[in-house]
Amino acid sequence: MADTARDPPPEQTDFQELEDGEDLFPEPAAAPESGPASLPAEDVSTNSNGPKQDSLFDDDPEDLFAEATEEVSLDSPERDVLLSDGPSPAITPITPPTSVITPRIGHAHDDMFTHSSFDEIEEEEGGDSFDIHIAVSDPEKVGDGMNAYMAYKVTTKTSLSVFKQGEFSVKRRFSDFLGLHSKLASKYLHVGYIVPPAPEKSIVGMTKVKVGKEDQSSNEFVEKRRSALERYLMRTVKHPVLLKDPDVLQFLESSELPRAVSTQALSSAGLLRMVNKAADAVNKMTIKMNESDAWFEEKQQQFENLDIQLRKLHASVESLVCHRKELSVNTALFAKSAAMLGNSEDHTALSRALSQLAEVEEKIDQLHQDQANADFYLFSELLGDYVRLITAVKGVFDHRMKTWQKWQDSQMLLQKKREAEAKLQFTNKPDKLQQAKDEIKELEGKVQQGERDFEQISKTIRKEVSRFEKERVKDFKSVIIKYLESLVQTQQQLIKYWEAFLPEAKAIS
Amino acid sequence: MTSALDESDKEKTRSVSVDLNNDASLLIDIPDALCERDKVKFTVHTKTTLSAFQKPEFSVPRQHEDFIWLHDTLVETEDYAGLIIPPAPPKPDFESPREKMHKLGEGEATMTKEEYNKMKQELEAEYLAVFKKTVQVHEIFLQRLSSHAILSKDRNFQIFLEYDQDLSVRRKNAKEMFGGFFKNMVKTADEVIISGIKEVDDFFEQEKTFLLDYYSKIKDSTAKAEKMTRSHKNVADDYIHISATLNTLSADDSTALKKHLDKLSDLFEKLRKVEGRVASDQELKLTELLRYYMRDIQAAKDLLYRRARALADYEHSNKALDKARLKSKDVPQAEEHQQQCLQKFDKLSESGKRELTSFKGRRVVAFRKNLIEMAELEIKHAKNNVTLLQGCIDLLKSN
């Protein structure tokens, strides 16, 4: 695209121009790396293998089934709960059985995640005003060739008591972020929490970086990713429940993180994910839910509309970014041409004025380039994020439908069993009758649980949607204001440049 | 579509050339024009105190081809060989807005009614702008002629202004007579001929070098300026789409964002109008300026070419005279021929020098005027943008 001879400006200065005063690359206080997390020796996440395997890497198409022994299914924790005998009344979002919830969270952790505790968490938030800032910075290429990857520094600054320090940083790579999301999704999505989606993979983009192309487009790719990762983390910690999740805390604080291998696109986990997604899509089409609650119907429709409009807006803004970049390139070309014209001009004063015009236009082309970046990083990425978030919201509504379906299925099964039992009454088979009675009792429990699950997820979704809407308003408002301010800056610079040129033009005689 | 351009409009549009239409003895303008399909019919209106004309005030309808006929006859007139003949106005070109209108029609299903209407409005404005530009460029051509001491007295020019019948019959005859020979020669061979001739005069040597180089540079600048302006227009169009979608989002929204989105939609609508003005002003003051003088410089090059040919003729006649003297045959004819060539060449050089000098002066003045106006307009539009943006920011922050 750009054929200018300029070196791509270092990422920092671009940003400092756009976002006045905001310190995106804070110098962490010389805090030593946080010590090993006070977690039990067992690995917290099941979704990675015990031994780290450094020879594996992101997005490697060759690594098809290296992790054959991995346990993966997203459904398994759920099933554990439903089949358990104990009458646990509340849904516990499961951290997989081998892990232990750390005691440092400070609540009775058994009912940590019951809905009543959700209220407590919110109360605690009120007292401990939301003060946490995460920065993702210093992308660094580690390794060589196709084994290479980008390591990012994740710096957290906070005064929240749930963290051990006020300021600390760790090194993370992209698959770590994906791993975090994967864990959170498996724990919380099916009970109705809107888990912010992770940034998208890009095999093409990443390959360029690995191969060592130090050009503008791979720099842009890294910057785009860095910014997206930062927004992802900030959105995740803004969620009061996710903030306290041990996986999140470990991600932010722990200096060593086990490799999240199941996030590879073509691993067995990845394939299983794809199969699950397909199955979900089919199910969605076949579930006909009797919606007794108008709120849900209304909200679903609203989100559907919002999705369509946001995608449309996103496309228009992407077009704007593209055209503005074109404008920048064309202005630069014109500037060069005007400079040549000035040189050729034999009237001295006019020649000077034309050269000045060329200089002004060159400065303006840089302005357009910067504005295109603001168009992208502020406006376009905001919209892109929300398009993905809405998908997560829709997913949560779908889970509610699935929960309802499970409940209905249990009820129908119970009905059948009851009918069968009634028939057995008239036969002389006491063993079978007892078995039937036992099954019925079990199913009754299941049906009750199903109903409770359904009510719980409905309640959670209502809260989540309300929180989501509040966040959306704040988010949009603050980003839009920043974006408009970037536009103002551009215009003010334009005024400066042309006002400086005007006397030059007047000096022609 | 007809367009009656009022006085203030004309003041603004008559921008790329200067010192025109100042002499009350012959005032020409194009007060309106009609666009039928692709043919534009101009109404040429003349007010004069000169006795050469039959009436003091009159109007005639003319087509683009009539202007070309007039230009060509002037170029082919030997007597004017030493003058810079004002460049012919380019053919009215509605291709760009027409193509866009076509694309818009195809994409109609993908936009809201409002969005479509706005885009249509934009395109109609673009049509109008092209229309106004073509009227301006034809008008300036005539005014250049009327402002020229010698050309204003040309008989064909007077016919053009006054003849109330259709000129097309006359046009056909003219084509048969001249066959466009001279014109074609000029177009194909000028650079080679001009650079090839050994120059005897410093002034012309300098002019030759300057004009040849300047022409290629200004041609390039015109093309680049045009691309730049088109990009501006694209940005303005994007603002339309963004504004329309924000409007829909606002209508659907039930949160506190509703009014924010509404204000934002409104803001983008206003911004795109300003951006559109920036694009069209830049086009007028910069692109059109460069384009006009590119054509003017071509006309100046044509003058150099004619002088170069005259010099070549003179040198040939010298050789012929020497040969004749050697053979002692037809010497008086050869002498007379040589004298004629010399006279012609001298006349061309003298008049050419005058023309080229005044041309440079005109050019510098025109550039100055337009560059100043462009800078002032850019500042005005940017300040406007700042006000709009700041207003919206304040509204958003205050809620």
What is the interface size between A and B, counted as CB pairs within 8 Å? 156
Residues in chain A within 8 Å Cβ distance of B228: 327, 330-331, 333-334
Average pLDDT in chain B? 86
Instruction: Decide: B242 and A316 in contact? Cβ < 8 Å.
Output: yes
pLDDT in tens, B314-343: 888 888 889 888 988 888 888 999 999 999
Contact assignment for B386 to A505 by CB distance below 8 Å: no
pLDDT at position A181 is 93
pLDDT(A56) > 60 = no
Please identify among residues 95-154 of chain B the ones whose CB lies closer than 8 Å to any CB of chain A.
Answer: none
Token pair 């010399």 is found at B342
CB-nearest partner of B372 from A338, A492, A502: A502
Nearest one of B391, B357, B139 to B271, comparing CA atoms: B391
Note which residues in 243-302 of chain B have CB less than 8 A from chain A.
245-246, 248-249, 252, 254-257, 260, 264, 267
pLDDT tens for each residue of B242-292: 999 999 999 988 888 999 999 999 999 999 999 999 998 999 899 999 999
Q: Quick one: average pLDDT of A106-123? A: 42
What tens digit of pLDDT does each residue of B239-248 get?
999 999 999 9
Q: pLDDT at residue A5 above 70?
A: no
A137/A229 Cα distance (integer angstroms): 10
Residue A372 has pLDDT above 50, yes or no: yes
Q: Look at A237 and B17; give whichever has higher pLDDT.
A: A237
C-beta neighbour count of B192 within 10 angstroms: 10
Q: How far does the CA of residue A114 sit from the closest CA of chain B (Å)?
A: 29
Beta bridge partners of B42: B33, B62
Residues of chain A positioned with their CB less than 8 A from the CB of B392: 484
pLDDT at B21: 67
Residues in Cβ contact with B257 at an 8 Å cutoff, skipping those fewer than 6 apart: A472, A473, A476, A477, B250
Both tokens assigned to A250 = 């470990």
Note whether B41 and B61 are within 8 A (CB): yes
Q: How far is A255 from chain B (nearest CA, A)?
A: 40
Whether the CB-CB separation of A121 and A241 falls below 8 Å is answered with: yes
Mean pLDDT of B45-61: 91
Whether B245 sits inside 8 A of A316 (CB atoms) is: yes
Q: How confident is the model at residue B9 (pLDDT cuts 50, 70, 90)?
A: very low
Q: Which residues of A touch B367 (CB under 8 A)?
A: 350, 353-354, 508
Does A499 sit within 8 Å of B379, measured CB to CB?
Answer: yes
pLDDT for A361 equals 96
Q: Tell me the per-residue pLDDT of B110-121, one tens digit each, with 9 for 90 and over.
A: 888 888 888 888
Axis-axis angle for helices B113-147, B202-252 (nearest 10): 160
Enumerate residues 441 to 500 of chain A having a beta carbon within 8 A of any beta carbon in chain B.
Answer: 469, 472-473, 476-477, 480-481, 484-485, 487-488, 491-492, 494-495, 498-499
Q: What pLDDT, on the 0 to 100 scale, is given for residue B131?
A: 87
pLDDT, mean of residues A1-26: 40
Is A2 in the B-facing interface, judged by CB distances under 8 Å?
Answer: no
**pLDDT by residue (tens digit) across A246-279?**
999 999 998 887 776 666 655 666 667 677 777 7
pLDDT band at A135 (very low <50, low <70, confident <90, very high): very high
Per DSSP, the three-state class of B51 is coil
| Least confident residue range of A83-87, A145-149, A448-452 | A83-87
- Paired residues of A132 in beta bridges: A158
For chain A, what is the mean pLDDT?
76
Q: What is the DSSP letter of A64?
A: S
- Pairing mode, if any, of strands B26-36 and B2-4? antiparallel
A126 or B302, which is more confident: B302
Q: Do A472 and B255 touch (CB under 8 A)?
A: yes
CA A494 to chain B, closest CA, distance in angstroms equals 7
Among A432-446, B157-171, B174-188, which range has the highest average pLDDT? A432-446
**B131 is written with which tokens?**
């229309």
| Residue pLDDT, tens place only, A20-39 | 433 334 444 333 333 343 33
CA distances from B251 to A146, A287, A420, A472, A481 (A): 50, 31, 55, 16, 20
- In this prediction, residue A92 carries a pLDDT of 40
Domain boundaries, chain B: 197-202+217-398
Fold that domain A293-508 belongs to in CATH: Substrate Binding Domain Of Dnak; Chain:A; Domain 2 (1.20.1270)
CB B393, CB B283: distance < 8 Å = no
Contact A306 B249 (CB under 8 A): yes
Among partner residues A338, A477, A509, which is closest to B260 by beta-carbon distance?
Answer: A477
- CB of A308 within 8 Å of a chain B CB? The answer is no
Distance CA(A60)–CA(A412), nearest Å, equals 46
* B contacts of A480 (beta carbons < 8 Å): 260, 264, 396
Contacting residues of A for B255, CB less than 8 Å apart? 469, 472-473
- Residue type for B9, please? D
Scan residues 177-216 of B and list those with Cβ closer than 8 Å to A. 206, 210, 213-214
Q: Which residue of A has its CA nearest to B249?
A: A309
CB contacts, 8 Å: B206 with chain A:
346
Q: Could you tell me the sign of the dihedral formed by the alpha carbons of A436, A442, A448, A453, in that order?
A: negative
Of B218, B245, B256, the CB nearest to A309: B245
User: Each residue of A204-246: pLDDT tens digit?
Assistant: 777 777 776 677 778 888 899 999 999 999 999 999 999 989 9
Mean pLDDT over B347-355 rounds to: 92
Across the range B68-78, mean pLDDT stands at: 91
Residues 339-368 on B with a CB inside 8 Å of A are 360, 363-364, 367-368
Looking at domain B197-202+217-398, its CATH superfamily turns out to be Arfaptin homology (AH) domain/BAR domain (1.20.1270.60)
More confidently predicted of A114 and B160:
B160
B383 inside 8 A of chain A by CB: yes
- Model pTM greater than 0.90? no
What's the pLDDT at A485?
Answer: 96
- Of B124, B106, B108, the C-alpha closest to B116 is B108
The 10s digit of each residue's pLDDT in B201-232 is: 888 888 988 999 999 999 999 999 999 999 99
User: A313, B249: Cβ pair inside 8 Å?
Assistant: yes
Q: Which of A323, A338, A346 sits opposite B234 (nearest CB)?
A: A323
Rounded-to-integer distance, Cα A135 and Cα A153, Å? 8
Please, which pLDDT band fits residue A161 given cuts at 50, 70 and 90? confident
The pLDDT of A300-317, averaged and rounded, is: 94
Share of chain B above pLDDT 70, in %: 87
For A94, which DSSP code?
A: P
Assign residue B84 a region (left: φ > 0; alpha: ψ between -120 and 50; beta: otherwise). beta
ipTM value > 0.85: yes
Q: What is the pLDDT of residues A165-217, one digit of tens each?
A: 889 999 999 999 999 999 999 999 888 899 999 998 887 777 777 776 677 77
Cβ-based burial of B49 (10 A; exposed 0-12, middle 13-18, buried ≥19): exposed
Question: Any chain A CB within 8 A of the CB of B53?
Answer: no
pLDDT (0 to 100) of residue A290: 73
Contact of B220 with chain A, judged by CB distance below 8 Å, is answered with yes
Sign of the CA dihedral A61, A63, A68, A69? negative
Is B245 within 8 Å of A313 when comparing Cβ atoms?
Answer: yes
Amino acid A466: pLDDT: 93
* Residue written as token pair 């236009």: A361
Question: pLDDT confidence of A87, banded at 50, 70, 90?
Answer: very low
B393 vs A contacts (CB less than 8 Å): 481, 484-485, 488
